[in-house]
Each structure stands twice: as structure tokens, then as C-alpha cells.
Structure 1
């Protein structure tokens, strides 16, 4: 029976708390390693609330916040995978969007854990736009499933781009959650014209997944060329290309580079995993609210000890063979 691990895009802004750390020795050992590699503290990784900075009016992309939010997401997702592995629950397939795709590549063995955390630190310290240019940002929106995207980011909206779908259509089929990215002034103008409360503009993390990030991508690509990528041990389904899975080291390197400027679709991941026979998906760490969205297979969120127990019970009930090694 095929189990897939999914890791959503975005970063972990809200503190996860210490429950995982307190419950599992493997999580404590892993967190200590993350502290050594990242230079962050356990308090920062587990208890610092970054969500308070989202609407503080600071238009700069804050390197320290970007680093912590990304490192925390990677720590949580990889640590939860380690806890599940201790219980014999291992994936046959992996798929993720944006940062989640990079973390999945790490779980597949295509990039070492140490190299992943070094890359996250390096990336967070690069300016996301040329000196003197306006800041970039994201806008998170819940819009109708059949909404005209050109109204939001078409030719008449210079400076606004489609960046990602967060989870595809909602379970009721009527709405979808998407992210736009671009110049902050253009995003704020869009938010003002859209129905009240439909778009929330975020500035402190910068932008992403648009051609505007080419300056940033130019700074990051030489660093990526130095990383010793390897062929992944499991297929990693792409969020950038519909139906595609990455299976080679050079494919992983190319995906890391394209991920900087190309829109990411979690719906591509969902479909690609379904086409490859997924019968149960576990969505690791912070990110996609599973219950909101339609899924082509049973899907469980796994981000707490209670949810790990639920996942283990589900695997047992479905008669999935456990793998200990």
C-alpha cells in the first residue's frame, strides 16, 4: 500500500510549542542538531511567535525572520518524519510545494540535512530585490474557485503575479486559496480594490515564485551549483510541472533553481501523487489546513503528538505494512 508524505509551501510562523520535543527523544536529538547547524536557539525554534510581525508595517524582508521561519518548518517536518520512521511508518512517495519541496528532497536523500540548513541560512541573507527598488511581498487570498485570475494578476495588474495555489479547491468546491506576489504597492492597491478582507498583504518575508525574483535567484544559483546533490531515493513529485516527479540529482538542482522564480502548485503535487497510486497521505508540519481542501485520497495532518498517534492508528487500521530498519 502506497503512503505519501506531503509538505506544504510557506513557513512556520506560529510557535509549535514543546510537545513534540518533550514527547520524543528522536525529536530532541534532531532539534539539538538543528541548533548547531542554524545558530538558532530552542526557544526561537519552538516558542517564538513570528505571526506578530506580519502586519507591523515594516516593508523590509527581514533576514532573521525569514531564516527562523524556514528553519523551523524544516526542523518540524523532518523531525516528524523521524518520529514516524521510529514507528515503522515510511513513505513510498514524497511531494511538496516551495520550501516543502526542498524539504521533501532532503527526506529523499537528494541533499544532506546539513546542506539544507546551510542553504536556508544563506538564502535568507540575500537581498530579494536590487538596491533602491520597492519592496516585494505576498498576498494570501481566498477567492471563488472559478474566479478570473486576470482580474487579480493579469496584464492590467503590473507588479502582481500569481505565485502559488495553497491547496487547490476547498472541499465544498466553491473556493480556493491562492497566493499572489509582487511589488508591495501593487499588492496593496489590489487588496484595496478587492472585496474587503479578501486579500492579506504580507511584507516581512519578501516575495517569491515570480519573475521579479530573478535578482535574488541570480545570487542564489551559484550557491546551489556548489551543493553535492544526489539522486533521490524516492520520487519527489514536483509542484512546478504538472504530473512530473524528480528522480535525478541534476533534476533536483534544476528544480531548486526554478523554484525561486516559478509559480508553485500544490494541486500538481496532489494529482501527481494520486497518479502514482497514493492510498494514504500524511501532511507533515505546519502549513496546509487539510480539512479545508478536497483530496483524492485519505489525508491526515501530522504536526503534534496526538496527530502522530492518529496517523499510526490509521496506518494500522488500513493494514499497511510497517517498515523498521
Structure 2
């Protein structure tokens, strides 16, 4: 009869409008942003507004975007906590796995945001090398993704498996790799659809991000990590992480490996989750077939739905175990 907090990632379009409403209405969230500004040197204006064109450097854009979304998720976590709403289990995808680990007591908040500022997000890219990108694939439920990705198709990897759509009619995959290979795949796909995302120029969650993996490992080695005090569900395989070493391994692996939402949500189900709360604008609404009901908490207007879901599904709220 547990409540799970789910932390997504910034792979898809990030809309901070609801986060700004939370910030304006809640002193507890304002305090989060004040501290994040102290730790990172980034001002609240940058963190609360979508500023994609401010910096042409993809590394800086990705770093600032990650800090902004992490601050949003931590802030909403605190808004819920102020109302006595605490998770019985946590988990996240990519960036969300780091945030959930922090809120499970693995590392202090300051260490999380300093890690996000110090680690590579994109890594070195050859300006004369092959252009990279990502694509979203919508496939019939019976189609095997092995035909679309390495080693069957050169230059395309399965970056994310978002499972079956709630209608049960198609699957949603994130493909990543070289843009030319993705565009060729999109042109050749006749069953389902492959849509190359024009704004994304980094092949996330592929072996091409090996320098990012190595950077995370180096930075994490200097952080004093602790064992989680909450069930912390991995997004890489159906597994609950119980030691600091396992979490450190996940941090670096998720830069180069497929993230799988069914692995994480299935593990949450094993922990008797009755309701999941998706914190922040970190996952698209209505796309994912979770094995339990979910409520997206992206703006203050979503809070009544949280309380209604807790009562409707008989969730027993645990005491606060970590902050």
C-alpha cells in the first residue's frame, strides 16, 4: 500500500511554466532554488525559464537544463513533504535516477548539484565528425526492436524503452545514434513510425557517450555516498539498489546503456506501490502504461489530484525517512 515518487529526465521537451507557479506560491521551493543558486552559481531566472538559445554550447545547455529540472523535482518533493506526503519507494530515469538517489539519502543535495555542474553531460564531440541525434519510435506491440538497432542497423542504438502505450496498441522507444542513420531508418520504416527530433543533437544513452560515463565515474569517486534508506529502483534492470557502490555504478552506466521504464516501475510494483507521483515536467502525460495509477505533479493545480489519488487507492503514507 505504498506511494512511489518517480523522477523523469530532460530528454523530451521541458516546460517550466508549472514549476514557476510552484516557485511563486511556495516558500519551501523558493528556499530550494536559493540553495541551488548558491551551490551552482546559476541564477533563478535561468533555472525557471526555458532559455534554450542563451548558450550555443551544447555542454552548457545540457548542464543548465539538468540543474533546472533537478531543482524543480527536488522543490516539488519538498512541497509535497510539507504536506506530509512522503514516498515509500523512489526511482528515476537518467537524470531522475540521480535525483531519486539523492532523495533516498545516497548523497547530500549540495553534492548532487555540484556533481551535475562538474560532470560532463555531452562530452567531447568532433566538429568534423558524424552528426548525432535521437528519434522517437512508435511501433506495433509485436514488432521486435532488434531489427532497428545495433548490431542489425549500423549507427542506431536503443536509448530508452518506454514500454507499451496505455491503449495497448503500440510501443514507444527512444532511438539514439548518428543522425544520418536515424533519418535513413525513418525513411525506410513502413510499419509504425520513427520521428527524428530536430532539436536533439546528442546521441544519449549510447556507447558514443563513453567519455560522459568516465567523467561521472571520476567525479562520483570523490563523493561520499551512503547506502539508500528508501527502496531505490533502478532504471537499467529490474533491481532495487541497496548499497552506495551499486548506486555509483548506476550513475555511470546510465550514460551509455538503455533506460527502461518497465524495469523501474515493475520493481516499484514489487514494493507494493498503489500510486505513483511523477514529479515535475519530466515525463509526458498519458504516454506510459504504468502497472499502477499515476498522478503527474507539474504545477499547483495538480495537488488536489494527489490527495484524491491517495485516498482513492488506499495509500498508507510512510513517515519521513530522509530529506
**TM-score, length-normalised on structure 1?**
0.88
Q: Aligned in 2, Cα 1:132/1:272: closer, same or farther, shift over 3 Å? A: same
Are the equivalent residues in 2 in contact too, given 1:108–1:234 (CA < 8 A)? yes
Shift of residue 218, structure 1, vs aligned partner:
2.5
Q: Aligned in 2, Cα 1:126/1:190: closer, same or farther, shift over 3 Å? A: closer
1:28 corresponding residue in structure 2: 30
1:71 corresponding residue in structure 2: 67
The 2-side partners of 1:204 and 1:299 are apart by 28
SS in 2 for 1:43: helix
1:281 corresponding residue in structure 2: 276
Shift of residue 111, structure 1, vs aligned partner:
1.5
Shift of residue 161, structure 1, vs aligned partner:
0.4
Give the unaligned 5+ runs of structure 1: none
Decide which of 149, 152, 156 is 2:148's aligned counterpart. 152
The 1-side partners of 2:120 and 2:253 are apart by 17
What's the Cα RMSD here? 2.5
The 2-side partners of 1:135 and 1:3 are apart by 42
Say whether 1:310 aligns with 2:311: no
Q: Aligned in 2, Cα 1:126/1:107: closer, same or farther, shift over 3 Å? A: same
Shift of residue 68, structure 1, vs aligned partner:
2.0
SS in 2 for 1:229: coil
2:5 corresponding residue in structure 1: 5
Shift of residue 267, structure 1, vs aligned partner:
0.8
Q: 1:41-99: per-residue Cα shift (whole Å, max 9, x none)?
A: 2222112253x89xxxx9x8702210122112111111111011100010010111111
Decide which of 186, 194, 199 is 1:191's aligned counterpart. 186
Further displaced range: 198-207 or 24-33: 198-207
SS in 2 for 1:281: strand
Q: 1:12-66: per-residue Cα shift (whole Å, max 9, x none)?
A: 622335210111110111111122222222222112253x89xxxx9x8702210
Shift of residue 197, structure 1, vs aligned partner:
6.4
1:294 corresponding residue in structure 2: 289
Are the equivalent residues in 1 in contact too, given 2:214–2:252 (CA < 8 A)? no
Give the unaligned 5+ runs of structure 2: none
Say whether 1:251 aligns with 2:243: no
SS in 1 for 2:245: helix
The 1-side partners of 2:248 and 2:318 are apart by 31
Q: Mapping of 1:123-202 within 5 angstroms?
A: 123-124=119-120, 127-129=123-125, 132-166=128-162, 168-194=163-189, 198-202=194-198
The 1-side partners of 2:122 and 2:176 are apart by 18
Are the equivalent residues in 2 in contact too, given 1:65–1:205 (CA < 8 A)? no
Are the equivalent residues in 2 in contact too, given 1:4–1:282 (CA < 8 A)? yes
Decide which of 202, 206, 216 is 1:210's aligned counterpart. 206
Shift of residue 131, structure 1, vs aligned partner:
7.0
SS in 1 for 2:228: coil
